[in-house]
Structure 1
Amino acid sequence: MLRVRAARRDDIDAFVALSDAAGTGFTSLSVTPDVLAARLEKSISAFASNAGKPTESTYQMMLEDTESGKILGCSAVKDAVGISKPYYDFKIITLAQSSAEADRRFDMKAMILVNDFAGCSEVGTLFVSDAARGNGAGRLVAQTRYLLIAADYGRFGPHVLAELRGVVREDGSSPFFDHVSKPFFRMTFDEADRLSAASDNQFILDLMPKHMIYLDILPEAAREVIGQTHEHGRGARRLLEWEGFTYNGYVDIFDGGPLMSVPTREARTARESDRFEIATGEGDITGIVSTDDFQNFRSVRTAVTVKDDKVLIPAEAQAALELGEGETVRVWRSQS
């Protein structure tokens, strides 16, 4: 059975392997093994804490095959961004241009560098290996993030953000970066991506232009990818839209990928979830069941049946959750 659980120290080798498999442009995984190891340490402390409020912590989770013990994917939730480390994006704005003398009236779009989402939470680092794709694993990993948030809303900000990977060519370059950002950074897309993931982003404030960038003067190759999602991220975007996320004209400063957001308590999986006591039995609909406990967080996708204040789940799912009858879980049930 596949389950999602809080990351452990001994996941480091698998974490590094997932980072290597993700490839160029996957910013949150484009870091060295030392940085990944440090993330695991910080995540362990975050899960063990009783914060009760956002503390700029990252909760790292792993997708695990309980039979083999193999790690097949990962995801993370940051409880707050943009506070000690700026969370920069380009915001696309519309400027009204008019001249009575020239008899002209039209709108122009421009981008400005902003840190508009300081204090919001972020879901990200969602990656599933080829071996696990096609059997609901990606959806389990994605939806579990909102069940974690629902376990203690007080730890998270007013909105949840998600940055989607933008268009990247087969050679690893980005048309948006080449024409928009590269002239200011004087480095490759991969170098900028890795530096952003590993640093406090001061270099962005130091080097990025302080003035607006007009979209109309950009080459078509750059304009046509603004707000577009990498082909491998289209499924993730559809799932975000299903959760209630919307795109409101914010894009990544390196690849032009879209930033999407949703009010924290409106994310569909969390909003539609309920707490029940466990009972043993066979289910009649598909659900995702989580422990609803930060210190021992786990989730599985399994068949469930709700009867009064109890949820019937198979013994195998209880074993994967490391819980038994009478204990409390959080359940999201498929509506189809």
Structure 2
Amino acid sequence: MLLIRPLTFADLQGLEHLAVISGGRMTTLPANRDHLSELINRTRQSLRKEVTQYSDESYHFALEDQSNGEIVGVCGIDASVGLNTPFYSYRIDEVVHASNELQIHNRIPALHLCQDYTGAARLCTLFLDKAYRSNENLNLLSRARMLFIAQHPERFAGKVIAELQGVADSENRSPFWDCLGRHFFNMDFNKANYLTGINSKGFIADLMPHYPVYVPLLSEEAQASLGQPRPDMAGVKALLEEEGFSYRRYIDIFDAGPTLEARTEDIRSIANNQIKPIKIGENRSTDQHVTVLISNQQRENFRCLMVNTDPQHPEVTTEIATMLRLNDGDNVNIIRL
């Protein structure tokens, strides 16, 4: 049985392991003990904080295998981005060039450095140990965050974004970075990714070209990578699109991966989740039983897992109730998968 819960300092070693096996591919999960410790600290502080208006709070959750206590996945939510440090994206738009004399009118796609997503909430740091990768576990890891947002809407912005990692080869070389970014920095893509993870995307973005970058001047390989996720992110992209996220031609400034967005209230798991009283019993299988995500309604002790039950009259065993820290009759948030 796998359980989602907020990170604690006891998870630091497990989080370091996930950072190492991620291979440096995740900006928000660098293999740096101080950064990971701060990530946990921000989670604990954010959970304790009484919030009436969202700010720079950040919440990260562990996916724990209850059979052995190992941390096998991690996911996060930033309440808003860009309030304290710049949050840059490239917006793909057209620049019009015209000559009346020659009767020529050209529309040329260009990359515009922008901060259009300042103030938006962000889903981030989604990583699952390879041995546990399945659609079922991915649903739990990603959608549990939606139930947390649904319980605490005042803690998050009205728009949510998710950045998907862009195209890179087996050695994590990005064609977009090699064509554009590396000309402005004396470092490779992996180092740039690591530095942004332990500091801020802003300090590197300040060195990027602030004038439009004309797409036809990029290499064919770089052009083909614009807005394309890494092949192994296809499942994550499909899940987000099922939740109502869409691509609006915004890309990451380093690897050109797509940024998806959705109005918070329109996200499927937020709009469709229900609040029901829980019954603790035998939970015998019936024709009404389906797979659901179920969470308690606690903040610092948030718990979420996947079970088979009747979503209209949810019932769980004593063992499951103990994991979720529930008493008979407590309200739970539940979403049918």
TM-score scaled by length of structure 2? 0.95
* Equivalent position of 1:128 in the other structure: 128
Q: Distance in 2 between matches of 1:227 and 1:323?
A: 43
Q: Does residue 1:288 correspond to 2:293, yes or no?
A: yes
Equivalent in 311, 314, 317 of residue 317 of structure 2:
314
Q: Distance in 2 between matches of 1:249 and 1:207?
A: 22
Q: Distance in 1 between matches of 2:278 and 2:230?
A: 41
Q: Distance in 1 between matches of 2:116 and 2:15?
A: 31
Q: Distance in 1 between matches of 2:23 and 2:34?
A: 17
* Deviations 1:33-79 (CA, angstroms, capped at 9, x unpaired): 11101111111111122213212111010001112111110000010
What's the CA shift for 1:97?
2.8
Equivalent in 296, 303, 311 of residue 308 of structure 2:
303
Q: Does residue 1:26 correspond to 2:22, yes or no?
A: no
Q: How do 1:156-171 and structure 2 match up within 5 A?
A: 156-171=156-171
Q: Distance in 2 between matches of 1:127 and 1:40?
A: 16
What code does the residue aligned with 1:324 have? N
Instruction: Indicate the larger mover: 161-170 or 199-208.
Output: 199-208
* Equivalent position of 1:141 in the other structure: 141
Q: Distance in 2 between matches of 1:282 and 1:53?
A: 43
Q: How do 1:120-269 and structure 2 match up within 5 A?
A: 120-134=120-134, 136-269=136-269
What's the CA shift for 1:180?
1.2
Q: Distance in 2 between matches of 1:196 and 1:245?
A: 25
2:96 is paired with a residue whose SS is strand
Q: Distance in 2 between matches of 1:134 and 1:215?
A: 37
What code does the residue aligned with 1:199 have? N
Matched residues, number = 332
* Equivalent position of 2:100 in the other structure: 100
Percent of matched pairs sharing the same residue: 30
CA contact (8 A) 2:64 2:71 kept: yes
Instruction: Indicate the larger mover: 102-111 or 258-267.
Output: 102-111
What's the CA shift for 1:135?
6.0
What's the CA shift for 1:317?
2.2
CA contact (8 A) 1:303 1:314 kept: no
What's the CA shift for 1:83?
0.8
Q: Does residue 1:68 correspond to 2:73, yes or no?
A: no
* Deviations 1:252-292 (CA, angstroms, capped at 9, x unpaired): 01100001110011111111101111113335111000112
What's the CA shift for 1:31?
4.3
* Deviations 1:150-186 (CA, angstroms, capped at 9, x unpaired): 1110000010110000011112211000111111122
1:185 is paired with a residue whose SS is coil
CA contact (8 A) 2:292 2:311 kept: no
Instruction: Indicate the larger mover: 100-109 or 29-38.
Output: 100-109
**Please, which runs of 5 or more residues in structure 1 have no aligned partner?**
none
1:27 is paired with a residue whose SS is coil
Q: Distance in 1 between matches of 2:102 and 2:217?
A: 21
What code does the residue aligned with 2:296 have? T
Instruction: Indicate the larger mover: 317-326 or 57-66.
Output: 317-326
Q: Distance in 2 between matches of 1:295 and 1:205?
A: 35
**Please, which runs of 5 or more residues in structure 2 have no aligned partner?**
none
* Equivalent position of 2:50 in the other structure: 50
* Equivalent position of 1:330 in the other structure: 333
Q: Does residue 1:11 correspond to 2:16, yes or no?
A: no
Relative distance call for 1:155 and 1:184 in structure 2 (3 A) is same
What's the CA shift for 1:232?
1.3
2:169 is paired with a residue whose SS is coil
Relative distance call for 1:42 and 1:93 in structure 2 (3 A) is same
Instruction: Indicate the larger mover: 232-241 or 319-328.
Output: 319-328
Q: Distance in 1 between matches of 2:86 and 2:180?
A: 20
Q: Following superposition, which runs of at least 4 residues in structure 1 exceed 3 angstroms of deviation?
A: none
What's the CA shift for 1:205?
4.2
